[in-house]
C-alpha cells in the first residue's frame, strides 16, 4: 500500500491533532498517523473525562478533512520524503495480519511526544512498581485499584496530577515523594504566579490530594516483596524508612521521543529537536511540534502544533498571536527544567545486581565497565531488546552520562516479513549505514 500526502503528521497527541486540523484548513491532503487505536496522545485518552479544550480539538479533528491512520507505527525511512509504517497489534488482533504502508509526503510534521523517564533502583522491576503516568494510564484503561495503598514518587508536576486522579478513583495515597528540594520548588511556584491558569490547576490538584504527605527532596531507594511489591524504602535528608504499600507509581519527569527525528537527521541540542520560528527543523520540509522540542505541557503542544500546521501550508501570517503564546510557554519549559533537575545522588541508587536493561537482563555491575552506550550495546546487548532502549536509554544517559548519538532502523520493532519486504534495516537501507551527520549531508 502506498499513499501520498501534502502534509503528513506523525503523532496524534495534542500537538499532532492541532497541526493536522490547521493544515487541513488549506484544503490539501493531510494525514495523521499514530500507533494508538484513537487520537489523543498521552493525555487525552479514551476513558478519561476530557477537559473542554480536549473535546473542542477532538471535535475539530472529526470535522476536518484529515485522513486518520490509527494503530500504525512508523519504523523506518528508506529515503527523503518517504516513511514506512507497520500496523500495530492495537489495530489488528492477529499478529499474522501485520501489514505495512509506504507514506510519501511533501511536508512532514513530527509530533511524537514524550515518555516517562525511569531510573533503576533495587527492586524497581518487581510487579506493581510502575511508572506514574503508566499506572494512571492503566487505571484509565480499566485497572481496578480501589482501596489500594499507593506511593507516588519521582519528579515533576505529573506526580501531583497522577496522585489526584488515583485518589479520585478511591485509592489511598500514602505519600507523594518529589526528588526536587523545596529550595528549587519555591522559585518555580513564584514564577507560576504569572500564569493564573497553572496556579489554579496546581491548587486544585493539591486540594484533591489534601491529607497526603508531600515530601520534597525524597525518593525511593528500594522496593521489596515476594513475587510482587510489598513495601518501599524512602530516603529523605539522610534518613530512611519503610512504607508497606500495594503499588509504587514512580516516574522521573518526561523524555522526548526522538527516535524518528534522529533517524531523519534533524538537529538536536541538549536533548531536544531544534526548530526555527515556524517549527521547521534542520531538515527542509520536516517540522516538529510538542514535547520533542521541549517538555512544556499540553498548552504549549497545541500552540506549537498549530504553528507547524499553518507553516507547513504556507499560512504563517495567521500565526502571529500563537508565536507570543509560544514564547510564554517556552519560559515555562525552562522553569520546569530548572526546578525538576535530577539530583545527582539518584545515580548511585542501583546496586551491582540491579537490572538496568530489563529486556536483555543487563545489570548495573556489568554496565559500569563500559564508556559509551554503543560500547555497552555491542558487548552486552543493553538497549537491543523489545523496547529498543526506550527505557534503559534515558536511564543510562543520566546514570552514566552516555549520549545517544545515532539511530538505526527499525526504530520500533517490526515483523520479519515487513523488514524483508521493505529492506529497512538491511544492507541496502541508507539510514542503516550512515551516521546522522552523513544522512543530513545527503538529504
Ligand atoms: C498521566 C499524565 C498526566 C498529564 N497531565 C498533564 C496536565 O495536567 N497538564 C499538562 O499540561 N500536561 C500533562 N501531561 C503531559 C501531556 O500529556 C503532554 O504535555 C502532552 O500530551 C504533549 O502532547 P504531544 O502531542 O506533544 O505528545 P503526546 O501526547 O505524547 O502524543 C504523541 C503521540 O505520538 C505517538 N507516536 C510517537 N512515535 C510514534 C511513531 N514512531 N509512530 C506512530 N506514533 C508515534 C505516541 O504514541 C503518542 O500517541 C500529562 C501526561 C501524563 C502521561
Domains, the chain, in order of start with CATH, read: 2-115+255-337 (3.50.50.60), 118-252 (3.50.50.60), 346-405 (no CATH)
Stretch 290-302: mean pLDDT: 96
**Per-residue pLDDT, 443:** 29
**Per-residue pLDDT, 94:** 45
> Would you say 3 and 101 are in contact if contact means Cβ atoms under 8 Å apart?
yes
From 298, 340, 431, mutation site for ligand 1 pocket: most ligand atoms within 8 A of C-beta: 298
Q: Three-state secondary structure along 336-365?
A: HHHHCCCCHHHHHCCCCCCEEECCCCEEHH
> Would you say 283 and 265 are in contact if contact means Cβ atoms under 8 Å apart?
yes
**Per-residue pLDDT, 431:** 61
DSSP class of 91: T
**pLDDT higher than threshold 50 for residue 437:** no
Q: How far apart are CA 332 and CA 228, in angstroms?
A: 38
From 8, 13, 162, mutation site for ligand 1 pocket: most ligand atoms within 8 A of C-beta: 13
CB-defined site of ligand 1, < 6 Å: 10-16, 33-36, 41-43, 73-74, 111-114, 133, 136, 158, 161-162, 257, 260, 290-291, 297-299, 301, 412
**pLDDT higher than threshold 60 for residue 195:** yes
**Per-residue pLDDT, 440:** 36
**Per-residue pLDDT, 434:** 42
Overall residue count recorded for the chain in this entry: 443
Which alpha helices (DSSP H) does 169-246 contain, by range? 182-192, 196-208
Least confident of 26-40, 90-104, 282-296: 90-104
Higher pLDDT, 201 or 359: 359
Half-sphere exposure of 5 (CA within 13 A, CB side): 29
H or E element in which residue 303 lies: helix 298-312
Amino acid at each position: 500500500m502506498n499513499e501520498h500526502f501534502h502534509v503528513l503528521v506523525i503523532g496524534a497527541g495534542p500537538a499532532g491533532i492541532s497541526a493536522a486540523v490547521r493544515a487541513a484548513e488549506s484544503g490539501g491532503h493531510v494525514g495523521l498517523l499514530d500507533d494508538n487505536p484513537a487520537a489523543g496522545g498521552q493525555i487525552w485518552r479514551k476513558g478519561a473525562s476530557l477537559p473542554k479544550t480536549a473535546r473542542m480539538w477532538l471535535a475539530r479533528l472529526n470535522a476536518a478533512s484529515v485522513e486518520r491512520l490509527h494503530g500504525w507505527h512508523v519504523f523506518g525511512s528508506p529515503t527523503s520524503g518517504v516513511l514506512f509504517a507497520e500496523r500495530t497489534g492495537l489495530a489488528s488482533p492477529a499478529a499474522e495480519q501485520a501489514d505495512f504502508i509506504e507514506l510519501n509526503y511533501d511536508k512532514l510534521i513530527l509530533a511524537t511526544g514524550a515518555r516517562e523517564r525511569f531510573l533503576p533502583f533495587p527492586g524497581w522491576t518487581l510487579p506493581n512498581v510502575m511508572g506514574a503516568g503508566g499506572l494512571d494510564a492503566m487505571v484509565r484503561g480499566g485497572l481496578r485499584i480501589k482501596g489500594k495503598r499507593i506511593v507516588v514518587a519521582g519528579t515533576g508536576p505529573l506526580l501531583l496530577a497522577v496522585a489526584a486522579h488515583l485518589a479520585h478513583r478511591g485509592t489511598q495515597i500514602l505519600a507523594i515523594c518529589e526528588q526536587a528540594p523545596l529550595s528549587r520548588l519555591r522559585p518555580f511556584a513564584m514564577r507560576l504566579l504569572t500564569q493564573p491558569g497553572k496556579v489554579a490547576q496546581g491548587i486544585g490538584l493539591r486540594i484533591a490530594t489534601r491529607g497526603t504527605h508531600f515530601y520534597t527532596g525524597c525518593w525511593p531507594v528500594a522496593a521489596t516483596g515476594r513475587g510482587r511489591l510489598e513495601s518501599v524504602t524512602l530516603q529523605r535528608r539522610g534518613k530512611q524508612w519503610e512504607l508497606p504499600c500495594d503499588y509504587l507509581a514512580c516516574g522521573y519527569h518526561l523524555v522526548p521521543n526522538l527516535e524518528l527525528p534522529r533517524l531523519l537527521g534533524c538537529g538536536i541540542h541538549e536533548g531536544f529537536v531544534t526548530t526555527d520560528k515556524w517549527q521547521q527543523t534542520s531538515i527542509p520540509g520536516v517540522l516538529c511540534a510538542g514535547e520533542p522540542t521541549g517538555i512544556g505541557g499540553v498548552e504549549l503542544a497545541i500552540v506549537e502544533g498549530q504553528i507547524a500546521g499553518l507553516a507547513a501550508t504556507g499560512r504563517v501570517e495567521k500565526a502571529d498571536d500563537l508565536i507570543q503564546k509560544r514564547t510564554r510557554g517556552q519560559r515555562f519549559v525552562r522553569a520546569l527544567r530548572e526546578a525538576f533537575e535530577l539530583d545527582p545522588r539518584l545515580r548511585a541508587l542501583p546496586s551491582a545486581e540491579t537490572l538496568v536493561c530489563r529486556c536483555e537482563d543487563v545489570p548495573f555491575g556489568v554496565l559500569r565497565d563500559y564508556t559509551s552506550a554503543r560500547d555497552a550495546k555491542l558487548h552486552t546487548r543493553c538497549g537491543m531488546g523489545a523496547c529498543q532502549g526506550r527505557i534503559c536509554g534515558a536511564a543510562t544517559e543520566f546514570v552514566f552520562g552516555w549520549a545517544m548519538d545515532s539511530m538505526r532502523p527499525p526504530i520500533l520493532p517490526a515483523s520479519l516479513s515487513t523488514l524483508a519486504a521493505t529492506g529497512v534495516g538491511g544492507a541496502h537501507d541508507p539510514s542503516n549505514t550512515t551516521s546522522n551527520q552523513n544522512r543530513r549531508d545527503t538529504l
